[in-house]
A and B are shown apart, each in its own frame.
Chain A
C-alpha cells in the first residue's frame, strides 16, 4: 500500500506520540495527571499558532510590493483582475480571518506564485522530503554528538577531550554551505562516490543530511559533555560506583539521565528546525523540500504559502517542545509536568 503524505505522516506522528505517552505515563506515577499537562500545552500551542499567524500576516502585508508586482510587463487591468481573484482587495481583517480559518482546515489557500497548486499541495510535497532528510540528519547528529560528548566527559584531561571540544567548536562555527561544498567536492567530484545534487535515492540523501547534522551534533556533544561533568561528581553516581556497578551501567542508568536534560531541551526546537528543511542545503543539493519556501514565498509575496510554512514550523516547534518536556520528565524524576 502506498500511503499519501498526510496519512503517512499523521500515522507516524500519532504512533510516536502514543509510544511516548504510554512509556512516559508508566514512569510518571507521582506527577499530576498527564492529560492535564497535555491539554494545557496543546491549548498553548493553539494560541501560539494564532498569534504567530497574526504577526506573520501583518508583517507580510506591511512589506511593500504584492504578489503581482514583480512582473514589469503586466498590464494594470490584468493586475487588477488577479488582485480581485485572490481577494487581495478585501479588508485586512477579513483576509486574516479567512486565512486563519483555512489553517484549521489545513487549507492554506491557493499559491499565488505557483498557480497550478494550492499552498497545501506544495507544502505537502515538500514537507515529507525535508522531514525525511531532517530525520536522517537528526539521526546522524545524535549518533555523532551524544557519544562524542560522553567520551569527552569521561576522558576529561586526556588528549581526546580537547580534540572533541575543538572539533565541535568548528562544527558550530563553520556554516552549512561551506561544509556542503567541501563534502560535494570530495565525495561528489573527487571520489565520485555520491551524486553532487538531486533527490531520489538514499545516496542523494547522505551528503546533505550529514551537512545538516554537523552543527546539531556539535551542539549536542558540548551539552552532553557539560551535563555529564556536572552529574558525574554527584553523590548518587559515586554511590553507584562504590556499589561496584559496571562503568557502563553507572553511566547509562545513573549519570546519563540527569546529564541529558540540557541536550533534550535543545533538541526539541532543533528537531523542528531541521525537519522543516534548510534553504541553503536544499538549494545547493537541489532537494525539493520545504525549507526554500520560507524565503522564496516571502520574496514572491506568496502570502498563503509563506503563512502555511510559518504555521507548520510554529506547530512543530511547539509540539517538539512538548515532547522534549515529556522526555525531560521521564529522564529526571524531580521534574513535575
Chain B
C-alpha cells in the first residue's frame, strides 16, 4: 500500500468517526416561539416535587391551580376555579370550577381531581414537601404523622364542579397559598399511579409536554383544550442551563426570551442600556446571618448585638450588591403587604460598648476567634470578606472565613456545628409570619439555638388576629423581640432581576417574583 493512500485512509477514518457520532447525537429542534432560560434541570415535573424555582416555573406552564395571581398586583384571579366564597371566620371555603376546564387529553377537569391531588400531597408516603402548605386543612397534621389515612383530609367534591375545604385554623394568606405550583389538580390514570416515568404527562394548564431531553430542554406545546389557548405562543422551550452568563449570551443573540438568573456583575451595565429588557424589582426575601447561640461567647446577647450593630450595611451594599437590594435591619421584608420599614440601626460606638459589656459578663478578656461559614458563590464570598473587614475594624475581632459547598453548609448548620453562618429566607406568600415562623423555638429551620417562649407566644397570638393594622402591629412587636436578641442578623432584602424580551407582554413585576403564563401573552 502506498504511503499516500495509507495517510488518506487514516485521515478518512478520523473524519468518518466524529461525523458519524455527531450525526447520532444531533437533534435539530427549531427555535420555539417562546424560550425560557430556566436554570437547573427541573428535578421532576410532578407538581408534588415542585418546591424549587425551576420546577415551579415549568409546573406553572403545565398546570392550572384553583387561583392564579395577577403578575403585577398579585391579586388572586380565577384559575381552574371560576369563583369562590368563604365563611366569615375563613375556615370553610367553596370553589366553583369552570365548566370549560379540560385536561390536555380532552377530558374535563373535575373537583375530584383536586381532592386526589391534595390527598396525595398530604400523604406521608408521597414525600412531598409542599404538604407544609396544607397543614391547616382539617386533619392534615394527623395524616402527616400517620394517625389518620389521607381520605380523612378536610376536602370534598360534592359535585364535579364544586370543591369544598375546611380548615382547622385560618392560614395567613390562603388564596395566594392556593396559587402555589404544587397545589394543582392531578389526573389519576387507570393504573392509579400518576406521573409514571415513560407515560405522557397529562396537564390542565396552558401547555402540555411535547418532548423532553434531560439537561437540554422541555418542549411545550399549547394545550389546545385550554379556553385561552389562542392567546399563547404555539410552542415554548424550557431550557435547562445553569450558567447565568451562557443564558445572558443567548438572550443577547435572541436565542432566549426570558432569563431568570443574571450574573450580578452585569446588572448595572444592563440597566444602563435602558431598553426595558431588564426588569428589576424589590423582592420579599432576606439575606441574614445565623448566630449559633449555643456557643459560649455567642450565647451572650450583648456580644451578638455588638456583631449586629457593628456592620455597616450601606457600605456593604455599595461594595457587594448589584443595586436593587435594600439594606435590612428587620427580618421581614418591607414589601409584605402594609408592613413597616425600619431605619438602619448600624452604630459602631454602641457596638463597642456592648462588646465590652458582654465580655465582662462572660468573664472574657477578648472574644475567641469566630468562624463565618457560607456557601460557594462569588456574592457570598464578597459579603463574607466585607463582614470580616468590618468586624475587624469596628470591634477588633478576628473572624475566619469558611467557604463550603451548599450541602455541607446546610449539614453543618443543621447539626449546630458553626459559629456564624450565611442564611436566607424567601417569602412563600405576602404575610410577615412566613419570616417570623422560621425562628419559633420548635421550627426546623431556626437552627440558631434561639428559643424564646415569649417570642413564640407573641408570634402565635399575633398571627391569630384578624387581618388588619392591629395584627401587623402585633407581629411587628414580635419581630422587635427577635431582632433585639440578635440570634439572626439581617443584612439585606433581595431584589429580583429578570431579562425579558420586548416580544413578551404581561410579564409584570412583583415582590414574590412570580410570573404566571396565564398573564403572559405573545407580543408582536
For the residues of A in contact with B, the DSSP-based class is helix
- B interface footprint on A130-156 (CB within 8 Å = 1, 0 otherwise): 011101101100110000000000000
- B interface footprint on A65-92 (CB within 8 Å = 1, 0 otherwise): 1100111111111100110010000000
Which residues of A lie under 8 Å from residue B406 when comparing CB positions? Answer: 70, 299
Task: Tell whether, in the assembled complex, residue B125 and residue A81 are in contact, meaning their CB atoms are under 8 Å apart.
Answer: yes
Contact of A179 with B by CB under 8 A? no
Would A284 and B245 be within 8 Å (CB), given that A74-B129, A114-B43, A201-B28 are in contact? yes
Task: Tell whether, in the assembled complex, residue B129 and residue A71 are in contact, meaning their CB atoms are under 8 Å apart.
Answer: yes
- Chain B interface residue count, CB cutoff 8 Å, equals 64
Which residues of B lie under 8 Å from residue A117 when comparing CB positions? Answer: 197, 214
Which residues of B lie under 8 Å from residue A286 when comparing CB positions? Answer: 239, 241, 243, 246-247, 250
In the bound complex, what is the Cα–Cα distance between A196 and B249 (angstroms)? 7
Task: Tell whether, in the assembled complex, residue B129 and residue A75 are in contact, meaning their CB atoms are under 8 Å apart.
Answer: yes
Task: Tell whether, in the assembled complex, residue A196 and residue B255 are in contact, meaning their CB atoms are under 8 Å apart.
Answer: yes
Residue on A with the closest CB to B195?
A: A116
Which residues of A lie under 8 Å from residue B131 when comparing CB positions? Answer: 75, 78
Which residues of B lie under 8 Å from residue A65 when comparing CB positions? Answer: 407-408, 410-411
Contact size range, A: 35 or more
Contact of A12 with B by CB under 8 A? yes
In the bound complex, what is the Cα–Cα distance between A205 and B26 (angstroms)? 9
Task: Tell whether, in the assembled complex, residue B255 and residue A197 are in contact, meaning their CB atoms are under 8 Å apart.
Answer: yes
Task: Tell whether, in the assembled complex, residue B405 and residue A195 are in contact, meaning their CB atoms are under 8 Å apart.
Answer: no
The smallest C-beta distance from A270 to any residue of chain B, in angstroms, reads 15
Task: Tell whether, in the assembled complex, residue A115 and residue B44 are in contact, meaning their CB atoms are under 8 Å apart.
Answer: yes
In the bound complex, what is the Cα–Cα distance between A305 and B430 (angstroms)? 38
Contact of A8 with B by CB under 8 A? yes
In the bound complex, what is the Cα–Cα distance between A112 and B255 (angstroms)? 31
The smallest C-beta distance from B82 to any residue of chain A, in angstroms, reads 31
Would A114 and B41 be within 8 Å (CB), given that A122-B214, A286-B250 are in contact? yes
Which residues of A lie under 8 Å from residue B246 when comparing CB positions? Answer: 196-197, 283-286
Of the listed stretches A33-41, A44-52, A247-255, chain B binds A247-255
Contact of A258 with B by CB under 8 A? no
Task: Tell whether, in the assembled complex, residue B22 and residue A136 are in contact, meaning their CB atoms are under 8 Å apart.
Answer: yes
Contact of B52 with A by CB under 8 A? yes
Which residues of B lie under 8 Å from residue A283 when comparing CB positions? Answer: 241-243, 246
Which residues of B lie under 8 Å from residue A77 when comparing CB positions? Answer: 124, 144-145
Contact of B190 with A by CB under 8 A? no
The smallest C-beta distance from B423 to any residue of chain A, in angstroms, reads 8
Q: Which of A275-329 contact B (CB under 8 A)?
A: 283-286, 288, 292, 296, 299-301
The 4 closest A-B pairs by CB, nearest first: A65-B407, A132-B25, A288-B216, A65-B411
Add 15 more A-B contacts to A73-B51, A205-B22 (CB < 8 A).
A66-B411, A74-B51, A75-B131, A78-B129, A115-B43, A132-B25, A136-B22, A184-B249, A188-B249, A197-B246, A197-B249, A197-B255, A252-B6, A283-B242, A299-B406
